[in-house]
Amino acid sequence: MWESLGLDLDAHDRLLSVIPPLYQDVYLNQKNRPKGMEYFDFAVMEIHGLRVQELQEHKANGGKVVGTFCLYVPEELVLAAGGICIGLCAGADVGTAEAESVLPKNICPLIKSFMGFKMAKICPYFESCDLIVGETTCDGKKKAFEVLGDFANVHVMEVPQTKSEAARALWRSEVEKFKEKIEKLTGNAVTESDLMAAVKKVNARRRALKRLAKLRSADPSPISGKDALLVEQISFYDDPVRFAEKVNELCDELEERVGAGIGVGGGPRIAVSGCPMAIPNWKMHHVLESSGAVVVAEEACIGERSFRDAVDPNGSDMNALLDAIADRYLKIDCACFTPNAERPEHLRELVKERKADGVVHYSLQFCDPYTVECYSIEKSLKREGIPLLKIETDYGQQDVGQLQTRVEAFLERLGDRVGV
Ligand code: SF4
Ligand code: SF4
């Protein structure tokens, strides 16, 4: 299968050999994990196996695969046209030399990673994609999609930078254009009933993730932050129906744990806010939880932002459904928007709901939108007396010792506050 996808087999083998020991250290060594995590462990161990095989079967039957890098791409339209939508990962330092041959060195690691995965021919998901959908969110990404266009079939959606009426009209027309693009790619017209069914399918996945997230409000939390983050990461590439079923099974078990007072850790509860943590980026959560904290929320795209809002499935016709899709996606409070008052507000609500003792603001190096927006986050948390630790990091392991020292000092400060 790998050969037929045109992968660089040696580089791919090297990548796969890194995952089991890392996974053992970060995940399998955790004590008292819910049994329901077995499915998600399997999904990681099989990350380049079963799901890729499903994509190949889908393609062999004439289906199309669409890859995305951002929450703004309305996957409902891909599903309604009979396609499969995959959130590509970009969470590891891979193919750096190849990426740096076309991009500057000082660009956000997420952008460098997606270019690296493509240029080094290492990701079977990327190589399975018939179309990559980019967006005009941050400057680095939108310019990188121009470069990526030389190596892959790319469609770029114009995401506005404000939420004015004019911006909404522009975005609505982009949603319509995307529908046409997908219809052309798949050769299938999107019907109202197919779109309605796709909306319901994606909403069901969002509901399951929301149920899981809310269970983390319990004290003690019935699941570690690392496990919850992993489930959120897998949501981007697994089959949405199977995934929702497995998350709901996990939640049934977590509800029993909450009832029996079973949970993880006893240290300070932390909400992590900021840049997306794509699989296999577990660095910040691992540092926090191995220092005694429990992460109870991810105010991020791989996290709350992906499932907070649902699409209204009750549109009476195609126009109403497309309106509902445009409106739902425009609610996303990405730092690429200006002004972006919703994000600090959502974060404060989340801290309250999850009974978090403090916030860690996580920025990827060279990410201007999130690093600069940290100013408003800090201002808003300060008003409420919520402690904040600001972290700026990359995908490397070189700064782990330094992060640990800063995290331990922060947790000690919180421990004194909450009497842990
Ligand atoms: S942070 Fe913004 S640009 Fe990045 S994935 Fe999320 S919505 Fe898209
Ligand atoms: S993390 Fe920041 S710089 Fe990187 S792609 Fe997302 S918004 Fe752009």
What is the band of 419 on the pLDDT scale with cuts at 50, 70, 90? Answer: low
Give the pLDDT band (50/70/90) at residue 2.
confident
Q: Which of these, 331, 353, 358, lies nearest to 272 by C-alpha position?
A: 358
Share of the chain above pLDDT 90, in %: 91
Digit-coded pLDDT (tens) for 8-24: 888 888 888 888 899 99
Closest protein CA for atom 4 of ligand 1: 70
Say what the pLDDT of residue 15 is: 81
Give the residue-averaged pLDDT of 387-410. Answer: 97
Query: What pLDDT digit, counting tens, does each position of 270-283 carry?
Result: 999 999 999 999 99
Q: Give the whole-angstrom CA distance, residue 252 versus residue 244.
A: 12
Tokens of 23: 């996974």
Residue nearest to atom 6 of ligand 1 (CA): 301
211-247 in b/e form (b: 16+ CB < 10 A) is bbbebbbbebbbbbbbbbbbbbbbbbbbebeebbebb
Q: 241: which 2 tokens?
A: 């129906």
The pLDDT of residue 341 is: 97
pLDDT per residue as tens digits for the range 31-87: 999 999 999 999 998 888 899 999 999 999 999 999 999 999 999 999 999 999 999
pTM: 0.97
Please report the sign of the dihedral spanned by the C-alpha atoms of residue 199, residue 201, residue 203, residue 205. Answer: negative
For the residues 189-216, what does the mean pLDDT come to?
A: 98
Length reported for the chain: 420
Q: Given this model, what pLDDT does residue 18 score? A: 83
110 Cβ below 6 A of ligand 2: yes
Average pLDDT over residues 303-310: 98
The alpha-carbon radius of gyration of the chain (Å, integer) is 21
Whole-angstrom distance, CA of residue 272 vs CA of residue 278: 14
Average of per-residue pLDDT across 389-398 = 96
CA–centroid distance, 74 to ligand 1, in Å, is 13
DSSP state of 86: E
What mean pLDDT do residues 290-298 have? 97
Most distant CA atoms of the chain, gap in Å: 62
- Distance from the CA of 334 to the center of ligand 1, in angstroms? 6
344-354 pLDDT tens trace: 999 999 999 99
- How far apart CA 321 and CA 312 sit, in angstroms, is 8
Q: Which pair of structure tokens corresponds to residue 355?
A: 């009974």
368 closest CA partner among 110, 185, 189, 121: 110
Average of per-residue pLDDT across 104-131: 95
Going by alpha carbons, the residue nearest to atom 5 of ligand 1 is: 70
Give yes or no for residue 293 having a pLDDT over 80. yes
91 CB within 6 A, ligand 2: no
Rounded average pLDDT over 311-321:
95
In this prediction, residue 6 has a pLDDT band, given cuts at 50, 70 and 90, of confident
- Looking only at the bridges linking them, the beta strands covering 269-274 and 388-393 are unpaired
Whether 133 lines ligand 1, by a CB cut-off of 6 Å, is no
Candidates 71, 110, 363: which one to mutate for ligand 1, based on the most atoms within 8 Å of Cβ?
A: 71
Report the nearest atom of ligand 2 relative to the CA of 366: 3
298 alpha carbon – ligand 1 mean position (Å): 14
229 in Cβ contact with 303 (< 8 Å): yes
Instruction: Judge if the beta carbon of residue 364 lies within 6 A of ligand 2.
Output: yes
* pLDDT at position 219 over 70: yes
- Give 3-state DSSP helix, strand, coil % of the chain, rounded to 5: 55, 10, 35
Query: How far is ligand 1, taken at its centre, from the CA of residue 274, in Å?
Result: 10
Cis peptide before 160 (omega within 30 of 0): no
Q: pLDDT at position 418, please?
A: 65
Measure 103 CA to ligand 2 centroid, in angstroms. 14
336-378 pLDDT tens trace: 999 999 999 999 999 999 999 999 999 999 999 999 999 999 9
Task: Dig out the tokens for 318 from the structure.
Answer: 């195609």
Nearest-angstrom CA–CA distance, 88 and 102: 20
Closest CA to 70 of 162, 154, 196: 154
How much is the pLDDT for 420?
60
Buried b (16+ CB within 10 A) or exposed e, 270-285: bbbbbbbbbbbbbbbb
User: How far is Cα 198 from Cα 413, in angstroms, rounded to an integer?
Assistant: 47
Distance of CA 367 to the CA centre of its chain: 16
70 Cβ inside 6 Å of ligand 1: yes
Nearest residue by C-alpha to atom 3 in ligand 1: 137
Which pLDDT does position 19 carry in this prediction? 86
Query: Is the CB–ligand 1 distance for residue 91 below 6 Å?
Result: no
User: Residue 417: which pLDDT band, with cuts at 50, 70 and 90?
Assistant: low
Q: Is the pLDDT confidence value at 201 over 90?
A: yes
The pLDDT assigned to 12 comes to 85
The average confidence (pLDDT) of the chain is 96
Task: Name the E strands within 247-309.
Answer: 269-274, 294-299
pLDDT, mean of residues 324-332 = 98
